[in-house]
Structure formats: C-alpha cells, structure tokens
Chains A and B, each alone.
Chain A
C-alpha cells in the first residue's frame, strides 16, 4: 500500500520539486515543536519578572530606602535596606577597582604581548576562572583573609571576593576590544617615536575605551547579584556601616535573609521589594552595556 502522496511545487526558477506528505508533516511538526520549546523557555522569564514587579512594588515605600534592617520591629514592622544598598555600592566599587586593575592588565598582556610564551596558559586560566563557582571564591577568601584574622568578616574581604569573580569577565572583554584596535594606530604611535608603554596606555587603551567600559558594566551587573561569596566574607550587617573593616550588608544577602531566614510575612514582602531593586539595577546595567556596545558598532 503506497499511499505516500507527492505534492508538486514549482520554485521561482521553474524547477519542480517533490516532497512527500510524510516529510512535509515532519517538517511542520518539528517547526511546531521548536516554536513551542522557545515559548516554554520564555514562560519563566515572564512569570519571575511579573511576580517580582507586582510583589515588589506593593512592598516598596520610602522607609524601605531610608531605614536599615536593624530598624525593623517585630511589632510595628518598618525597616528597610539602606544598609544593603550602601554595602553593595561600597563592595562592588572595591571589586571594580580590583577587577579593572588586574583585568585590564591581563587583557593588555593577552592582546599586546601576544608573542609571550605564557599567553596561551594565561588565557586558559582566565577561562577556567570564569567557570569556578562563586561560593568557592568565597571560601578561598574566607580561609585567606577572614579565618586567618588578617581582616576578619569585613567589606574588604567581600569586595576582594567579588573582585576575583569580576576579573575574568574584564580580561575577556578587554582582550577582545584591544584586538579590534587596528594595528596601523599602534604603528603610527611607534613611528612617532613613542615608547611601547605610552602607545599602549595613551593610544590603544583610549581607542578601546567604550568596549572596556561595556565589559566593566557587565562585570558590575554580574557581581552585584552574587550573595554566595559574601556569606563567608562580608557576613552581612543589619546596621548601616561605611567602614570597610566591619561586616557589611549587601542587597543579595538581604534578599536571601528576608526570604529564607525571615520570621514575619512583612520581611518576605520586603524580600520581593529587594529583588525588584536588584533586578532593576542589573537589567538596567545590562541594557546600558548593550546600548554602548551597539553604538560602538
């Protein structure tokens, strides 16, 4: 029984092609499955952002930004996340300084000293560093700085942990943009009699500035959502502190504590508000980085 029907279609060049209905069905079925799969992938995005926006906005008020977690009262509620916002800004700032210094330095090494024998190994190590779990970095900084009583639980320790998570991100973006800077610019500088260091620092780096900034923004957006490495380094602090040598709060730590270790429903509501603040900041940074990258092209 051969009921495989063939349908005839004529292409624009007048060539006749035959596709059996079974193959046509398979083609359409796979298209439907792939479309459905894509749709399923997007469902959690809408669910999560939707719920964070709805629950977050209803729990947000002025004191959420002007008070600290310490100001929360079991009887009257209240309290906010000012301690966490300040802590995140301070520690992410510190991590950015560390990440830019070592990240740009290593990026220059990979792109401008490409003939150096260590270049392939440094590149592999930088990639491996990208894949190391954040919590492992936290444990290392804990063992190195905190348990050895070098600085104790502190903003410094948290900032260094975040910095080492940021380094490989900045290395990669710096290397990529430096390689895009045309060689003629370097040669022009060298032809003017400038030494190599001056060509790199005052001609090549400025030419790659916007790309490096994009990488830095992506690095900031990545580490400002990290709580795991801070659990053992900055520890968290319900009070507002600016001192880098004291334990320090952070936005993701507050969301974790308010959601997972909370005692009252009011704290759970604040966890949603904290998540909204964190997501607005991180998505905003991502969109900014993307816009800058697009302008460059």
Chain B
C-alpha cells in the first residue's frame, strides 16, 4: 500500500500552520495581558492622576491627603502603608523562613524534613480571608491586650483598638514565610555538595559549613525569594483589610490604624463613585507597576547573582 504512505505535503503543513497560529494566539493573550492591564488601569485612573485639586500627577503620588468630602485624593499614605507593612513583615518573616529552610534542607532527617516541609506549604494554601478571620477574632484581641498593658505601663496616648499597622505586619509575616521558605529551601538544596565537603574537610563545624559554605552560595537565590515575598506582601488584600483599620491617614506609630493601597481599594470600593473610583483604580495602577518591578528585580537578582549551575 505504498500509495497511502506519502501524505500530500501541502495539506499537512496547512493544518500545522493553523495549529501554530492558534497556539501563538493563545500565547499572545499571556504576552499582552500585563500591557493590557496597565492600559486599562491608566485609562480608569486618568481622571485621578490629572486632577487639579490633588495637584496633578505628582500631587497624587506624593500628597498626603485623602478626602472624599473635598474630592482631594492623594496616594502617599497608602503607598507608604504598603511599603511599611511589606518591609515590616519581611523583617519578622525572613529570619524565621531561612531558619526553617536550613532546618529542612540541612539539619532534619528525611522522616522529619518531609512533614515539616508539607506543613509549611500548607500555610501557603490557607486563603487570605481565613487569615483575616483569624486576625479579627484572635490576633486583634491579643494585640489590643498588649496595647492596654503598654499604655498602662508607659502612659502613652494610644487608643488600644488592636487594629492597625502592627496587626497587619504580623498577619503578613505569617503569610509570606512559606513563600520565602520554599524558595530558600530550593536554593539551599541546589548548593553543590562540593561546597559542604570542602568546608568539612577544613575542619568546619556544621554551622560553619552553613555560614561559609552554603549561605554565601545561596545568597542571591534567597534574596530573590525575599523580593518575591515583598511582592506578595504588597499585593495581599483581604487579610490586611480585615486587621489594619483602614484609616486614610499616614501611620503615626506602629499601632495606629492606617491603610495599604490594596486594603483601601477593597474597603472603599463599595461606596466609591466618580473621582474616588478613578483614584482607587489609579492606586491599582501603582500596585501593578510596583508588583511588575518587584518581580523583574527578583528575576534579575536570581539569574545575575547566582553562580552558574545553581540557577532555578
């Protein structure tokens, strides 16, 4: 049946070309998505970005007043709120996450490392609202009790509400630990065994092996993970909305109510219209730009600073 073997070549390649086009079209959705997001948000936020009352674009970014009554919308308190909560969470989360990663990758025997690794990944799977729920009914009362004690002990002029910057930082810290830990663990496990053996051969203790053989080697990867964790923390919405208090003022101290960009969007969207709605969408645009920058920096850090052969 020789005649049935050769396929008409033109037909095959026509079908292949169609397949290729369909696949390319689907990939282009992913390719274009970020740019389309940016375009739509800048269009929606245009009225707020250019509003005279708020001082134009720079007034919107660097101004401190958010007042729906006078329709003056300036974003700096919330940009700072996002950065304060994000970096605050990292200060708590990073040492703990790296410790847990070292424990799983270097110290624990397999029978212990596997379940501990699973449990930390479970933390990442818990939805944001559940963290927020726990924050409202467990964390906030605890923080409030601490504030009452602190006010009694020092006599500072605080309203012990429990909601505020500190509660948001604590919830975010718990939420970013699994992300930073997972990346740190992967990077540490990729450090070649030569590094360990060389350090042991010089008579190093376990800790010295980690300190001089492993951590310098894994540094860039861990830093990349930390930056990705920052991106997570900045974008996290509902858990923060539920515990931060959502006051549209800049935070005066570690326990005062404030808002992040995402928590302000979530809490004010319902009653917003007109310019306020545009200002919230403009905040969304800043959030988009910030998260894209953070992600690209993390990628560059990981690929540029990691020794060849240990890239993720």
Contact = CB atoms under 8 A, between A and B. Distances in A.
Contacts of A132: 34, 37, 235, 288, 291-292
A106 B177 contact: no
Interface string A169-210: 001000000000000000000000101110011000000000
Contact of A256 (B41, B98, B122, B129): B129
Contacts of A255: 127, 129-130, 133
Interface stretch (A69-77, A89-97, A240-248, A276-284): A276-284
A57 to B, nearest CB: 15
A136 interface: yes
Interface in B108-138: 116, 118-123, 125-134, 136-138
Which interface class (under 10, 10 to 19, 20 to 34, 35 or more) fits B?
35 or more
Interface stretch (B68-76, B149-157, B204-212): B204-212
Nearest to B296: A128
Label chain A's interface by main secondary structure. Answer: helix
Contacts of B44: 139, 143, 147
B284 A228 contact: no
Interface residues of A, number: 90
Contact of A228 (B121, B238, B292): B238
B174 A44 contact: yes
B107 A131 contact: no
A131 B228 contact: yes
Contacts of A137: 37
B177 to A, nearest CB: 6
Contacts of B126: 48-49, 225, 279, 282
A47 interface: yes
Contacts of A42: 116, 119-120
Contact of A37 (B29, B43, B103, B295): B103
Contact of B133 (A41, A164, A271): A271
B146 interface: no
B100 A45 contact: no
A19 B203 contact: yes
Contacts of B22: 105
Interface of B: 5, 7, 12-13, 15-16, 18-20, 22-27, 29-31, 33-34, 36-37, 40-41, 43-44, 95-100, 102-104, 107, 116, 118-123, 125-134, 136-138, 174, 177, 181, 203, 205-208, 210, 228, 231-232, 234-238, 241-242, 262, 265-266, 269-270, 280-281, 284, 287-288, 291-292, 294-296, 299
Given A34-B107, A200-B19, 15 more contacts: A41-B97, A42-B116, A44-B123, A102-B30, A105-B22, A129-B30, A131-B291, A132-B37, A133-B234, A136-B235, A196-B16, A227-B127, A271-B133, A275-B129, A282-B125
Interface of A: 17-19, 23-24, 26-27, 30-31, 33-38, 40-42, 44-45, 47-49, 51-52, 101-102, 105-106, 108-110, 112-113, 116, 118, 121-122, 124-137, 139-140, 143-144, 147, 164, 167-168, 171, 193, 195-197, 200-201, 221, 224-228, 231-232, 252, 255-256, 259-260, 268, 271-272, 275, 278-279, 282-283, 286, 290
